[in-house]
Amino acid sequence: MQIDRRAFLATLGTAAAIKAMHSEALAEALEHHMIENLDAETTKDELKVRLGTGLLFGGPLPSGKAPAVLTKLEPMPEKPTLVDFFKYRFAPATAKHVLQSATDAMKKGEREELILACLLHDVVLNLIKVDHGWWGAQMMEPYVSEKISWGIRYHQALRFYPDPSVGYEYPEMYNQIFGKDYVPPPYIKQAYEYARNHKSYMDARMITVHDLYAFDPAMKVSIDPFIDIIGRHFKQPKEGLGYDNSPVAHMWRTLIFPDTPL
Ligand SMILES: [Fe+2]
Ligand SMILES: [Fe+2]
């Protein structure tokens, strides 16, 4: 690594200040300088964090914006409920988004199951972002009806394809995230075509419809109006999410203990 001597000395202050410095302090300052400049040298091909990394692990928002600064998390209750995850683990950005989406569905008089699907459709982004429809469906499967998990699985692919019959347009935000000429990969197209011809199509499509109205930073939302719907349609395990030995208990535990090294 090349050191620009002049630039380095300029960071230390006046000539008198530099003269007064211990050689150890100088060495330390040089190390800092080198580390900082190493950051500046990282090229576009190097990532600080994988783009698909979940928000709870420091991954950026889908828009590319960094999430809130990571801080120590509060411990969770011994038998965590879905509502506890909203309270203690889901990043404000995702919680707000799914609450807005479910609020929109509720206001428009949708079925309770669809309202719950909207409430759950993106919370897996806290764990992982890539293929979040599939991950999200799997994470919810033991606790919700098939209609709900099916809808969550296919909403990801359907987001890329307009459906004027229900007023769903290609999201402007996707032009910013993926670029204007983006063509979804073949597996997404296949999933769309499969879902389009499936009897449950609308269970996934309507999630995308309410998704569109769920990015208003000024809108105030709360989990309270959804507590009864969760009670009626989400099979909360008595041992707590993460401890019920279900095939996906580890996903919930990963959110409970995201700082565990292994
Ligand atoms: Fe989504
Ligand atoms: Fe969404």
User: Angle, nearest 10°, between helix axes 186-196 and 146-158?
Assistant: 130
> Ligand 2: distance of its center to the CA of 75 in Å?
27
Q: Which pTM does this prediction carry?
A: 0.83
Q: Which-ligand-closest: CA of 95?
A: 2
Query: Which one is predicted more confidently, 139 or 34?
Result: 139
Write down the pLDDT at residue 146: 98
Cα dihedral across residues 120, 122, 123, 127: positive or negative: positive
State yes or no: pLDDT of 44 exceeds 70. Answer: no
The enclosing H or E element of 116 equals helix 112-120
Report whether 105 contacts 29 (CB < 8 A): no
Distance 154 CA to ligand 1 centre (A): 9
pLDDT tens, position by position, 115-156? 999 999 999 999 999 999 999 999 999 999 999 999 999 999
Q: In order of start, what are the domains of the chain with their CATH numbers?
A: 5-41 (no CATH), 82-256 (1.10.3210)
Cα of 214 to ligand 2 centre, how many Å?
7
- The environment of the single-atom ion ligand 2, i.e. residues with CB closer than 5 A, is 122, 211
Average pLDDT on 216-222 reads 87
253 exposure class (CB count in 10 Å sphere: 0-12, 13-18, 19+): middle
Least distant ligand from the CA of 129: 1
Question: Which helix H or strand E contains 104, and what residues bound it?
Answer: helix 92-107
> What amino acid is encoded at 210 in this protein?
H
**97-108: pLDDT as tens digits:** 999 999 999 999
Ligand nearest to the CA of 215: 2
If pLDDT is split at 50, 70 and 90, which confidence band does 41 have? very low
Alpha carbon 42 to its chain centroid, in Å, reads 25
pLDDT tens sequence across 184-213: 999 999 999 999 999 999 999 999 999 988
Query: Is residue 153 within 8 Å of 133, Cβ to Cβ?
Result: yes
